[in-house]
Every structure is written in C-alpha cells, then in structure tokens.
Amino acid sequence: MSSENESAEKPMIRRLVLDILKPFDPEINIVAKELINRCSSSDVSVNITVYEVDKLTTTCKVIIEGTHLDYDEIQEILISMNCVIHSLDQVVAGSKLVEDIDTPLD
C-alpha cells in the first residue's frame, strides 16, 4: 500500500531536456545507450544533439522521455560518464506530455 502512496505523491516526470558538457569519450551513442540501459524506467527514449565542439569537449542537448523518470538517477548516470549538466532546460510532468505553444507574449 505504501508504494501506491509513494507513486501518487511523486510527480510523473515524462521528459527532461538537459544541456550537458561531455568529453569526446564516450561518444554520444554510448551515452544514449547507457541512459537507456541504466534508467530504472523501462520505456526510456533518448535524443542527443551536439551543438558545440571544443578541443576536448562537446556541448549537447539531451532529451529523455519516458514515464517516472528520476532526475537524480539520470544525473548519476551522466556523472559516471564524466558529463557535466550545465542546465535543466525543460521538465514535462503529469499524466501526458504537454507541448509548448506560442502565446501572444512569444
């Protein structure tokens, strides 16, 4: 019964968008594979796009989608691969994905 209460209290995180800095090694395909394999959520999908390349590092946008994503777990996986999270740029939580829309202020 307590597991039902715990899951009801925690927000269901469905998407995280991260700006990360990573060394050249591991390559982005390895980072994606590790995120998919090591996340406790069974339905994780990952999109990694390289935006900037320096002498020793790459700056990437990482989009992770699934159900019940755990930011702390994802952060630990990335840190274990010598990646640094610059920023958490988007969080989508709840029973469904909510997409951005243009508003008059945009």
pLDDT digits (tens, 9 = 90+) for 12-42: 999 999 999 999 999 999 999 999 999 998 7
The token duo for 102 is 């243009």
Average pLDDT over residues 76-98: 94
| CA–CA distance, 3 with 51 (Å, rounded to integer) | 40
What's at 55, amino acid-wise? K
Domain residue ranges in the chain: 12-93
Q: Which candidate, 27, 8, 24, 13, places its Cα nearest to that of 75?
A: 13
| CA–CA distance, 98 with 106 (Å, rounded to integer) | 17
Confidence of residue 103 (pLDDT cuts 50, 70, 90): confident
CATH of the domain spanning 12-93, picked from 3.40.440.10, 3.40.50.300, 3.30.70.1340, 1.10.8.60: 3.30.70.1340
The answer to whether 105 and 30 have CB atoms below 8 angstroms apart is: no
Contacts of 18 (CB under 8 A, 6+ apart): 61, 62, 63, 64, 74, 78, 85, 86, 87, 88, 89
